[in-house]
Amino acid sequence: MDLITLSQDAHVGTITLNNSPKHNALSHLLVAQIMEALKQLELAKTRVVILRAPENSKVWSAGHDIGELPEDGRDPLGWADPLRELVRTIETFSAPVIALIDGGVWGGAVEVVLACDIIIATPESTFAVTPAKLGVPYNVSGMMTFMSAASLRIVKELAFTALPISATRAEHVGMINHVIESADIDAFTRAMAATIAANAPLSISVMKEQLRVLAGAKPLTPRGFEKVQGLRRVVYDSLDYHEGIRAFKEKRKPVFNGT
């Protein structure tokens, strides 16, 4: 596992994203290594996992690997997409996952962070929800992750502007748990992890699953789901979707025409 590092100290496991040249873009390979690490920690009956990037990272994760977004008419965020699998794995992991954020979090990486149970960030950290910047149709469960993390009005501002918001604002609107100075965040996070690890793991594990099931219990009729999927197809079949990806690869601003 060369794109991450994995360490374990008593009941606390730490996964560090470590592909800085690509700003920890969530490629198939990086996600596979995170999933493998989570599997090892689950087998070791780990009581808390800390998911982080190296200290003083300018970018915690640049989100989905844009080079891996399909352009052949397939849903770019379908069930089997590695980002989707990672979000589900974090949500169903048997113990709490704490996201320790230091740097910019972009696109689908914001959803990965929001899928974590507790989020602790440095003041320099930012969060940017970017589908509109690339012309991507975000998927249904992903939008529910955002809606579970902040009010609808905040989600709309994040989604429509695609602008980064600060950790301070994210905390103010209840999207993250704590903003802690860079010099103190490691000790603060480890202290919280130790507190959780000293509590009853079965009770915590069941409460985590109860909260997941209850938070996800939202009515969506089959007809409603099919309508949303049809609307998403219009987007990922659009010229704007291809323009968004091409513009990123050509390092230029995209020009969207709404077609």
Is residue 12 involved in binding ligand YXS (CB under 6 A)?
no
Q: Which of 13, 96, 103, 107 binds ligand YXS (CB under 6 A)?
A: 107
Is residue 131 involved in binding ligand YXS (CB under 6 A)?
yes
Q: How far is the CB of 60 from ligand YXS (least distance, A)?
A: 10
- Catalytic status, residue 108: yes
37 versus 105: smaller Cβ distance to ligand YXS: 105
96 versus 103: smaller Cβ distance to ligand YXS: 103
Is residue 106 involved in binding ligand YXS (CB under 6 A)?
yes
Q: How far is the CB of 166 from ligand YXS (least distance, A)?
A: 15
67 versus 174: smaller Cβ distance to ligand YXS: 67
Catalytic one of 107, 108, 135, 244: 108
Q: Which of 60, 93, 127, 138 binds ligand YXS (CB under 6 A)?
A: 138
Is residue 25 involved in binding ligand YXS (CB under 6 A)?
yes
Q: Which stretch binds ligand YXS (CB under 6 A): 35-43, 117-125, 131-139, 181-189?
A: 131-139
CA distance linking residue 209 with residue 202, whole number of Å? 11
CA distance linking residue 188 with residue 50, whole number of Å? 12
Q: Which residues contact 160 (CB under 8 A, 6 or more apart)?
A: 132
Q: Which of 50, 59, 100, 196 binds ligand YXS (CB under 6 A)?
A: 59
Is residue 246 involved in binding ligand YXS (CB under 6 A)?
no
Is residue 103 involved in binding ligand YXS (CB under 6 A)?
no
**DSSP-derived pairing of the beta strands 48-52 and 12-17:** parallel
73 versus 219: smaller Cβ distance to ligand YXS: 73
Q: Which residues contact 211 (CB under 8 A, 6 or more apart)?
A: none
CA distance linking residue 53 with residue 30, whole number of Å? 13
Is residue 189 involved in binding ligand YXS (CB under 6 A)?
no
Q: Which of 11, 22, 169, 246 binds ligand YXS (CB under 6 A)?
A: 22
- Catalytic status, residue 64: yes
Interface with ligand YXS by CB under 6 A: which residues?
22-23, 25, 59, 62-67, 104, 106-108, 130-131, 133-134, 136, 138
> Which residues belong to the active site?
64, 108, 138
